[in-house]
A and B are shown apart, each in its own frame.
Chain A
């Protein structure tokens, strides 16, 4: 009879019961979607950070802007360069580079596991022969593509000098080598390059092709692909080669630091204090700041905070007031559902009184009421799960694109620019114009990332727990209500004015 009653009650649920279901559905769907959106924006932001700074980077060290405490994101014109050689103008991007000794000094700090330098360059063709591409490998006829005679100055290429001895640290680590090989430690001085796949595609570069920069032909040994739509640079060179190209031997724009995982007890007093606060990177950052005055040390938290643009706004909104508002609305909906459920049970009081007259025991009647409340809660919660999953699926499917602008030393450009170049005639440097337009030398280029709302199994578990909890709360309210029938005298009083 328990299930018969339940089934028949739920077959034609009253308005209150429906409202309870709707309330719980709303709450669960809201929490699920908000959490997924949080995860999605966080993932997108991490992607942006990874694109800009590479993986494995806990800290970056750059030169501080003059007269400035070192807030990341403040840019000033490069003091070095431009160097003009063989028709190409080479500019160091971002703040003035650090001294040659910087990497060693950083590496010597306690708590630093690894440190590697990087140097971002912009190579601009002044006479139209920047980035001459020789495709000897595939055609054998040394056909050269490029804007050689067709363009004057202005075609620009973003190049990045990476430490060949530190794979997995720095901007190139954001990419995977999809063809060819990565740099080997022995290639530090060789004229070799790794091309970003977007750039390679736009300019028909393959393994063995070469790109000529300032009169030197760099042989492509690998193609790097990023998982998202952004790449830190179009061409990666061994660091010493890049330094030579810029005429700044030993200089690095950014030092990428991995903090050792062991508790950095040796990281000094500041470090100990920061370690106590939970983030060892803070302690190491303090030590580096002390050892290298005039530098800006950014932790990944700083780097994350330095991201600006719509993505950052969305992130701050979902993980801040928007998220809390959503959770608040969800909590209110659950409470309202519980109150409504109590009222729905109250309306069945006469039915329960009838059952009592029929000799149903208190427990049996309570079970019926709690069963109804629980089933109502479960149905609502399940609907909420379904709704939330649909919403997150939809969001992921639509994948709205958000742009973000990481601060400081990161070097990036959108692959969209490269793909736009594909549309142009082969070798047309318009592609490069598209890539660099609006980016200039500021270093913080806008990246665009598709927003997703990923639903992890743990999020589903969380939502299910929440759904069950809400259903239980509703059931408990039902139990409370059935255990407290309106005093008969009150019923009589209202029945007999």
Chain B
């Protein structure tokens, strides 16, 4: 359960602040789905960074299952990110020196998972993402869509409570985008590889109108202000 209460995020020095988010209040139930849309500079990425504990709000609270992320110290926050939050950034952000498998393994390192288990879990996640044959490729050898799928595998391999995707299909062709979105959807199905009965909360920034239309919860951010639309029973249909 995510609950944002009166969250404001300001950037820059006191005399020249930019408001990324202004007084945003919203919540997403556990296992629920929120699609975020809005014009450039609207505050979408800011919202996701706050949800992911990568940044702290200037005002307000960001609660994940009752814990205020803003109140945690850096080390604990890192541990929360490691355990509970899976990021799928725009353009994958893979480490160029590592293979696909090692990139996925990197998500398990802060959890203290042993090397052997890391390797098998990473391989399994990549197979699930349709990249069973590309384990040993470095990012430069992969297509952008494949890289994005590695990023999805990296996000789900640790079975986080939350998946945060910031324009995960940005820059991809229509077909590739559809596949990546399908993969993210699949990650939330009860029978998906990560774990039976496991349904992560998904917060996704996307400009894909079909996804937005289907979404049970839609947040449109304009100049930091949120406009919420909820659909009855939407979460079940995800």
Contact = CB atoms under 8 A, between A and B. Distances in A.
A361 B110 contact: yes
Nearest to A9: B97
A351 B92 CA distance: 11
B102 A4 contact: yes
B190 interface: no
Contacts of B54: 356-357
Given A4-B98, A8-B98, A12-B97, A355 B11 contact: no
Q: How large is the interface on B (under 10, 10 to 19, 20 to 34, 35 or more residues)?
A: 20 to 34
B28 interface: no
Interface residues of A, number: 22
A494 to B, nearest CB: 15
B32 interface: no
A146 to B, nearest CB: 81
A226 B179 CA distance: 86
Contacts of A8: 97-99, 102
Contacts of A12: 97
Contacts of A351: 93, 95-96
B89 interface: yes
A1 B12 contact: no
Interface string A347-390: 00011011111111110100000000000000000000000000
A359 B105 contact: no
B78 A360 contact: yes
Interface in A1-49: 1, 4-5, 8-9, 11-12
Q: Interface centre among B78, B82, B93, B110, by most A CB within 10 Å? A: B78
B97 A357 contact: no
A8 to B, nearest CB: 4
A12 to B, nearest CB: 7
30 contacts: A1-B102, A4-B102, A8-B99, A8-B102, A351-B93, A354-B93, A355-B95, A355-B106, A356-B81, A357-B52, A357-B54, A357-B81, A358-B81, A358-B82, A358-B107, A358-B110, A359-B78, A359-B80, A359-B81, A359-B82, A359-B85, A360-B78, A360-B106, A360-B110, A361-B75, A361-B110, A364-B109, A364-B110, A489-B12, A492-B11
Interface of A: 1, 4-5, 8-9, 11-12, 350-351, 353-362, 364, 489, 492
Interface of B: 11-12, 52, 54, 74-75, 78-83, 85, 87, 89, 93-99, 102, 105-107, 109-111, 154
